[in-house]
Each structure stands twice: as C-alpha cells, then as structure tokens.
C-alpha cells in the first residue's frame, strides 16, 4: 500500500469538484491570453528543429524557466499560457520548448517525440546554459512533459545545472495509464487524444513515406482505435523500440525518481482520470530531493479553485510560490 499522504491546500471551485469538470473546464472556458511571444527556432544536431516560444527573453541573463507541455500540447494550451503569464508577471524569462510535431511548423524528420525522449530537451538546455552562462535554470513539466522531465532529472541529464523543478500529473507508469485511458469514461479522453495524434501523423505523410519506413499506410492509421495501438504501430517503431510495452517499460519515470538530485516538486490529484493509485510511488521510491504533493481533487492538470464564474488556478499559485526565493 502506498504510504504517501494526501495534501491539504486546495479546495475545488464550487460546482467543479468532479474530476472531469476539473480536467476539461479550462479547455472550454479559459480565454486565450494573446501573449506576445518571441519565437526561436532551435536547430537540433540531426538538422530537425524545435520551436521555442519566449516571454521576457530580454531578462534571460538572470533566471530562465523552461516549460515542457503535455501530449499534443502547445503554446495554445490553457495550462501553458497560464504558467507563462504568471511567470512573466513576476518579471521572469520563460520559454516553452515544443516537442517535435507540436509547434505550428511541420518538422523535417520522420522521427516524433515520445513520453521519455529527453534528447531534444537536453540539447536545448545545454544550448541555453552556454548562451546564458550567468542565468539560473528552472524546469516545469506537465503530463508526458513531466514524465520526460523526471526521466531527464533521474537518469539522462548527467551534467545537471537545473536549480529546481516542478512536475505536474506525470504518468509515472505509462503502461498503467494506457490501460486506464482505454477503460470507462476515460475512453472519451483517449478518443480525443488519438484524433490529435492521428491528425499530426497523417500530416507528416506529406513529407515522409511511412509505408516504406514502417509498413504503415494512411488507411491503417485511420483504423487505429487505442493509444496503445498507436504506440505499437508508430511511436515505438519510429523511435526504435520493440513494441508499446517495451517503450512504456523503458520510459516510465517512476523507476528514476530515487535518483533525482535536485529539489523537485511533484503534484498529483487522486481523482486524475488519466491514471489510478497504482502509479503512485512508495516513499522509498522517491529521492529525498522530491516533494510529493497528492491532493484529493484536481483532475488532470486542473486544480481549479474559486468559483465557476471566477475561477482561480491553483497550479499557477503553487508553482509561483515554490520558486519565490529566486524572484
């Protein structure tokens, strides 16, 4: 039985206690913030690129907050806009690194991102550290971006110069989360995410012959009905894994938590519809540098307090508070 206790400090908005309302409310009702981004196209070693969206780039010599979004997320995602604006309002430099295929431009390579692909993030972080040698660096990850970040912190980033980090709603066990998404009401989320993934992949067919590369036709893609099937046929194969389960096993971040050497805050809700209690780590599976905050409510990337008509977003408040010593 897991021995991590739930945390007090969040009361869901009246009328929004339900896990699904917490999860979807901001996608439907939070207004676009029309942030004035400065866009940087960073060229990777393999000649592909990632699109990086900055706010307050002129302040980058002091602190830089690097953000990683969730599955098929982007600068348009409400949770991304919310934290970027909150940090901008604190006069901090903040940059969102889009994963490959998630920015507005179509990437050059057939390769795509995945839940544990740390290589692009490490390359970009090293570039930033070299360019802004006097800056302090902080990282924030959401959902699969959080899973990737935890793997980066606990396994892949040997010359780690990050000061502190926050990870929200990370799918610590990818296999369990794939099963949860394919059950009950969560199938609606799976259907939505799958539509986005398939749309992105079909667009990539304009540049890449996946029939030749993976023996995968557009017609077969259109028939894919689960996230795991998508990962079996495409994500795992294009990234040189044997299967979806092999990909999940090697990239689930739970196994790397005990190795994290910097102060890292993990935020979860017990009612997250994308996962269940089986993903939660035992106390002995966590590094002493990890603070694990588990809330009764909050859904997936929700944590909306206040009221339906005057919502407040606890994640932004908590994250801003966590880094307060550096402002």
- Could you list the active site residues? 143, 272, 300
CA dist., res. 175 & res. 227, Å (int): 10
Q: Which DSSP symbol is given to 264?
A: E
Q: Which residues of 245-278 are buried (b: 16+ CB within 10 A; e: fewer)?
A: bebbeebbbbbbbeebebbbbbbbbebbbbbbee
In a 3-state reduction of DSSP, which class is residue 144?
helix
Pairing of the two strands 136-142 and 63-68: parallel
CA dist., res. 275 & res. 230, Å (int): 18
Question: Sign of the CA dihedral 306, 307, 309, 314?
Answer: positive
CA dist., res. 239 & res. 113, Å (int): 8
Helix (H) or strand (E) holding 62: none
In a 3-state reduction of DSSP, which class is residue 64?
strand
In the chain, the N- to C-terminal Cα span, in Å, equals 39
CA dist., res. 273 & res. 266, Å (int): 17
């Amino acid at each position: 039985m897991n021995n991590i206790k739930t945390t007090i400090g969040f009361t869901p908005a009246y009328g929004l206690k339900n896990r699904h309302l917490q999860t979807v409310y901001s996608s439907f009702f939070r207004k676009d913030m029309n942030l004035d981004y400065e866009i940087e196209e960073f060229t990777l070693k393999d000649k592909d690129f990632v699109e990086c969206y900055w706010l307050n780039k002129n302040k980058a010599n002091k602190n830089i907050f690097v953000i990683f979004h969730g599955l098929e997320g982007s600068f348009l995602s409400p949770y991304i806009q919310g934290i970027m604006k909150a940090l901008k309002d604190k006069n901090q430099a903040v940059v969102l690194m889009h994963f490959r295929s998630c920015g507005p431009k179509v990437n050059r390579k057939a390769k795509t991102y995945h839940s544990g692909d740390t290589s692009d993030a490490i390359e970009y972080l090293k570039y930033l550290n070299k360019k802004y040698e006097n800056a302090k660096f902080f990282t924030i990850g959401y959902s699969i971006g959080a899973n990737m970040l935890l793997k980066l912190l606990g396994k892949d980033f040997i010359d780690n110069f990050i000061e502190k980090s926050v990870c929200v709603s990370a799918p610590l066990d990818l296999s369990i989360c794939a099963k949860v998404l394919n059950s009950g009401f969560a199938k609606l989320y799976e259907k939505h995410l799958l539509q986005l993934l398939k749309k992105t992949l079909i667009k990539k067919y304009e540049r890449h012959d996946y029939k030749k590369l993976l023996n995968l036709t557009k017609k077969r893609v259109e028939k894919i009905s689960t996230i795991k099937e998508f990962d079996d046929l495409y994500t795992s194969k294009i990234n040189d894994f044997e299967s979806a389960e092999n990909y999940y096993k090697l990239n689930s971040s739970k196994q790397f938590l005990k190795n994290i050497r910097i102060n890292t805050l993990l935020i979860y809700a017990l009612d997250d519809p994308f996962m269940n209690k089986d993903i939660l780590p035992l106390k002995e599976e966590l590094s002493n540098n990890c603070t694990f905050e588990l809330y009764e409510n909050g859904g997936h990337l929700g944590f909306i307090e206040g009221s339906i008509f005057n919502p407040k977003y606890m994640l932004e408040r908590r994250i801003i508070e966590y880094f307060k010593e550096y402002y």
